[in-house]
Amino acid sequence: MNDDSTFDDDDEIVTLKAFFDERTMSVHLVEKNPPRAKRGEPGNWELVTLSDRILTYEELDILAEAILTSAEHDNDSFIEIEEEGAAVVQLRNLRIAIARRPFADKMEISAIRPIVKLNLDDYQLSTKLMNRLESRAEGILVSGSPGSGKSTFAAALAEFYSSKGNVVKTLEQPRDLQVEESIVQYSPLDGSMEKAADILLLVRPDYVIYDELRKNSDFRAYADLRSAGVGMVGVVHAGSAIDSLQRLLLGGRVELGQVPSTVDTVVHIEDGKVAKVSAMSLKVKLPTGMGGSQRDLARPVVEVREFERGVLEYEMFTFGGEKVVLPVRGESVPATGRGRKPSGRGVPGENVPISISYNKKKVTIYSGRKYAKQRIEIFAGDLYLFTSVVGRNGESSIRIKTRQGSMLVDVMEEGATVTAKIAQ
């Protein structure tokens, strides 16, 4: 990179692009620091220093003003937020956050560029899941940690629904989903997503992609649109699928009994891939663990099942005036449609001898080639942790920064006995 051309006044878009190459996800320019960038892809990136040059307030201030001016005069760009000390700008395909004093103690410009655009076929989803997304799922949450690829998957869903002859809109702040021209992207009306949702109802969309659900008003707007019969896809920051459902319940955002009609499917994304899919249903039953004969304790229970195998994993119900989310080691429901044939190399419930090692990047579970391609359930004592697939070489590798990886390392460091069984 030529430092002399970094802050060329001729074209601020080119100026920012001087920091990008084809693998750059985002650029971070901070006063009194050298320029840095994240390079790689969701789930596999590194933060690199671009040069030894120390950035000054003056040059960042000039760049920020140039960005704002450009956005005001470019029909394909816009200023999403502009407050004292902060601004968010969509400059063509760059989402730019600008922070100044007094909001931040240093001048900072962060420019984020989507480097991955996928369609739903790229995710290699099962036929069972594709059928659900197309014909049954109408209240979807796409969950994941920051940078996991949630919005990329949501954009792929938007274009999938549009390709099926549906009217698709988005609600975003900022508007940075990369979608085709036929999909109109909306932002808050007079600062309110709820007002924007009211307008959307008049447009009569078939599906709305809501990126992202953060505040109470976001969850309420999502629930209102869904109750009006609009198919909804909401993007939410969460470390796991069940965490996203707990955020839905937080502060009475959605009543417990309305959860399955508001959200019927949760797709959890990790490292740019679909890591888990959960399905919700409402039943009146005795919650697991309350005893088989106490019929007076029967109540509405939201069942949360792992979608592909139908295994009951959580129950959500009210007990003593409190909402309870209870982990359950339950039974699977009969599969429908075409599924994968069992390999015949292992019996469900059979103990699998394993050994585990880990380093700074990954956790490796060794089980041997005998169990290659088998799904194994990992336990810490009697506590179920997660399900993994054994590779052809007889081992399963998990990135240590994922929820499963960090969970496994935590229980090992606490001295728990880790075991495995062939998945039910």
Instruction: Give the pLDDT score at 294.
Output: 58
Between CA 143 and CA 23 the distance in angstroms is: 24
Between CA 125 and CA 407 the distance in angstroms is: 26
Instruction: Give the pLDDT score at 7.
Output: 39
For CA atoms 183, 189, 191, 192, the dihedral sign is negative
Strand partners, 269: 274
Per the listing, tokens 């971070």 go with 28
Tokens of 259: 């959860």
Q: How confident is the model at residue 335 (pLDDT cuts 50, 70, 90)?
A: very low
- Whether 297 and 290 have beta carbons less than 8 Å apart is answered as yes
More confident residue, 285 or 120: 120
Q: Which of 142, 171, 164, 389 is nearest to 273 (CA)?
A: 142
Q: State mean pLDDT over 164-180.
A: 88
pLDDT tens-digit profile of 88-133? 998 888 889 999 999 999 999 999 887 678 899 999 999 999 999 9
pLDDT tens-digit profile of 184-225? 999 888 888 889 999 998 999 999 999 989 989 899 999 999
**Buried residues in 360-373 as b, exposed as e (16+ CB within 10 A):** eeebebebeeebbe
Q: Residue 246's Cα: distance from chain center in Å? A: 15
On average, the pLDDT of the chain sits at 85
Instruction: Give the CATH number of domain 3-112; options: 3.30.450.90, 3.40.309.10, 3.40.50.10490, 3.40.1190.20.
Output: 3.30.450.90
Q: How far is CA 52 from CA 1, 110, 171, 290, 300, in A?
A: 11, 18, 40, 64, 61
Straight-line distance from the first to the last Cα atom of the chain, in angstroms, rounded to the nearest whole number: 55
Phi first, then psi: what are they for 94, rounded to 5°?
-105, 130
More confident residue, 341 or 259: 259
More confident residue, 293 or 253: 253
Instruction: Give the pLDDT score at 115.
Output: 67
Q: What angle do CA 162, 164, 168 make, to 5 degrees?
A: 25
**Buried residues in 235-248 as b, exposed as e (16+ CB within 10 A):** bbbbbbbbbbbebb
Domain boundary assignment for the chain: 3-112, 120-327, 351-422
Is the pLDDT assigned to residue 136 strictly greater than 90?
A: no
Q: Domain 120-327 in CATH: superfamily?
A: P-loop containing nucleotide triphosphate hydrolases (3.40.50.300)
pLDDT tens-digit profile of 250-262? 878 898 989 999 9
Between CA 419 and CA 424 the distance in angstroms is: 15
Q: Which of 160, 233, 230 is nearest to 202 (CA)?
A: 230
Instruction: Give the pLDDT score at 38.
Output: 93
Long-range contact list for 345-348, CB < 8 A, 24+ apart?
345/370, 345/371, 345/372, 345/373, 345/374, 346/371, 346/374, 346/422, 347/422, 348/421, 348/422, 348/423, 348/424
Q: How confident is the model at residue 155 (pLDDT cuts 50, 70, 90)?
A: very high
* Cis before 174? omega within 30: yes
